[in-house]
């Protein structure tokens, strides 16, 4: 059932790197949508992570006709009523998202800085569609810390460390993307074994 290529409906190098690490047990090549030849820019106009992930997966599948999965993810901050949520990628210009979030949360005390990352993954191969979710709970720090990761990682505290202070392995074991993709990985491996 599984071909030897799987396309991730993204050109985000950070998401791609993490997905390749997490899905390594599948033993298949994971291509970006660009490398797979999909020249489309799916319009992420859904109101939920699941809607947006489905839009991306289906649009890219129509273009490449190979098994595709999409990740739609974001940061939901309780004191901001769940913002930036599905709009996390558009909250601030790239590289300025942490600074803007820290500014906006300047007066919010430690105990009210709870937040979570959410990730919904949608897979389609034209016959089946699989949806899997993952979340990671934490708190928004008062300053940026760490050099690793991307996006909001420098301000997202998990215990003592921010995600940007963790190694890739440490982050993948905990992360919203890790949880969602491990569910997908197990389902795809299960289906594959059943086909043998």
Binding mask 44-73 for ligand IMP (x = CB under 6 A): x---------------------------xx
Would you say 3 or 147 has its CB closer to ligand IMP?
A: 147
Pick from 49, 61, 173, 64: which is nearest to 121 by CA?
49
Per the structure block, which two tokens stand in for 46? 């859904």
| Residue 150 binds to ligand IMP (criterion: CB under 6 A) | yes
Question: One of 71, 72, 125, 153 is an active-site residue; which one?
Answer: 72
Kind plus residue range of the DSSP H or E element containing 75: strand 68-77
Q: Which of 97, 122, 140, 155 binds ligand IMP (CB under 6 A)?
A: 97
Q: Are 9 and 40 in contact (CB under 8 A)?
A: no
Q: Is the preceding omega at residue 84 within 30 degrees of 0, hence cis?
A: yes
Q: Which of 42, 74, 138, 178 binds ligand IMP (CB under 6 A)?
A: 74
* Cβ 176 to ligand IMP shortest distance, Å: 7
Dump the DSSP string for 25-39.
GG--EEEETTTTT--
User: Between residue 109 and residue 138, which ones bind ligand IMP under the rule CB under 6 A?
Assistant: 117
How far apart, in whole angstroms, are the C-alpha atoms of residue 17 and residue 23? 10
Would you say 59 or 73 has its CB closer to ligand IMP?
A: 73
Q: Which of the 8 DSSP states describes residue 67?
A: -
Active site annotation includes 72? yes
* Cβ 190 to ligand IMP shortest distance, Å: 26
* Cβ 72 to ligand IMP shortest distance, Å: 4
* Cβ 74 to ligand IMP shortest distance, Å: 4
Per the structure block, which two tokens stand in for 136? 């990671």
Kind plus residue range of the DSSP H or E element containing 121: strand 114-124
| Residue 89 binds to ligand IMP (criterion: CB under 6 A) | yes
What are the phi and psi torsion angles at 96 (to 5°)?
A: -115, 5
Q: Are 138 and 157 in contact (CB under 8 A)?
A: yes
* Cβ 100 to ligand IMP shortest distance, Å: 11
Residues that bind ligand IMP (CB under 6 A): 44, 72-75, 88-89, 97, 117, 149-153, 175, 177
For the annotated catalytic residues, the residue numbers are 72
């Amino acid at each position: 059932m599984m071909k030897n290529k799987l396309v991730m409906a993204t050109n985000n190098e950070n998401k791609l790197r993490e997905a390749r690490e997490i899905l390594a047990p599948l033993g298949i090549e994971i291509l970006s949508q660009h490398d797979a030849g999909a020249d489309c820019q799916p319009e992420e106009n859904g109101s939920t992570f699941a809607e947006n992930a489905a839009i991306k997966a289906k649009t890219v599948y129509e273009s490449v006709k190979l098994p595709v999965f999409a990740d739609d993810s974001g940061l939901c901050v309780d004191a901001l009523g769940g913002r930036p949520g599905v709009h996390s990628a558009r909250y601030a210009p790239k590289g300025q998202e942490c600074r803007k979030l820290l500014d906006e949360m300047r007066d919010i005390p430690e105990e009210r800085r709870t937040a979570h990352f959410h990730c919904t993954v949608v897979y389609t191969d034209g016959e089946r569609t699989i949806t899997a979710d993952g979340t990671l709970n934490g708190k928004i720090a008062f300053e940026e810390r760490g050099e690793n990761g991307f996006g909001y990682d420098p301000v997202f505290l998990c215990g003592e460390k921010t995600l940007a202070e963790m190694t890739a392995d440490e982050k993948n074991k905990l992360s919203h993307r890790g949880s969602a993709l491990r569910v997908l990985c197990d389902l795809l491996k299960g289906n594959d074994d059943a086909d043998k």
